[in-house]
Amino acid sequence: MLQRGKNVCTFDAAIGEGTRKGLLLTRPIDMGEPFALKKLQDMRLYYTKYNQGSMCKAVLYVSNDGIKWAEVKSLRGGSYKYFRIALITEMTDDDRLSGIALRYELNRGNKLR
């Protein structure tokens, strides 16, 4: 079942010709290290495109406290504790989005405690 506003539709009614726009927003990702600063090295989007009119764009948001978020234009920035990924899509029924791979390194401050 798919809900649009106050109308409820089945998936059969959603299948059709052409592309449809969508937005996917992940939960805050801490990479299993919630207190360490991480620097992203690489972000790979696994997306299969069968139509020339289809597109899938990724927007990266970062935070150090999990409350205030900022958009990052490049992976060559600083180190952060939390990441969120927004995917803006315009896909057909044949296109597939199967996952995202993130490669990162922990930022060590060289502080002995």
Cβ–Cβ < 8 Å for 68, 10: no
pTM: 0.76
Helices and strands: H and E segment counts in the chain: 1, 8
Rounded CA-CA distance 59/50 in Å is: 22
Q: Exposure string (b/e) for 53-84, b if CB count within 10 Å is 16 or more?
A: ebebeeebbbeeeeeeeeebeeeeeebbbbbb
Per-residue confidence of the chain (113 residues) as pLDDT tens digits?
A: 445 556 665 555 555 678 888 899 999 999 888 888 999 999 999 988 888 888 899 999 999 998 999 999 888 878 999 999 999 999 888 888 889 999 999 887 666 55
